[in-house]
Amino acid sequence: MNQWQNFSKGFLKENAVFVLFLGLCPTLGVTTSAVNGLGMGLATTFVLTMSNLVVSMVKNVVPDKVRIPAFIVIIATFVTVVELVMKGFLPDLYKALGLFIPLIVVNCIVLGRAEAFASKNTFLSSVIDGLGMGLGFALALTILGGVRELFGNGSLFGYKFISGDGMLLFILPPGAFLALGYLIMLMHKLKKRIY
Binding site for another protein (CB under 8 A): 21-22, 24-29, 68-69, 72-73, 76-77, 79-80, 83-84, 99, 102-103, 105-108, 111, 169, 172-178, 180-182, 184-185, 188-189
**What is the distance between the alpha carbons of residues 123 and 126, in angstroms, rounded to a whole number?**
5
Measured from the CB atom, is 124 or 172 closer to another protein? Answer: 172
Report the nearest approach of another protein to the CB of residue 63 (Å).
16
CB contact set of 57 (below 8 Å; sequence gap of 6+): 123
Question: Which CB sits closer to another protein, 96 or 123?
Answer: 96
**Contact status, residue 128 vs residue 7, Cβ threshold 8 Å:** yes
Residue 70 and residue 182: Cα distance in Å, rounded? 38
For the bound state, the minimum distance from the C-beta of residue 77 to another protein, rounded and expressed in Å, comes to: 7
Q: Nearer to another protein by C-beta: 1 or 192?
A: 192
Q: Are 58 and 170 in contact (CB under 8 A)?
A: no
Between 58 and 123, whose beta carbon lies closer to another protein? 58
Residue 189 makes CB contacts below 8 A (sequence gap 6+) with: none
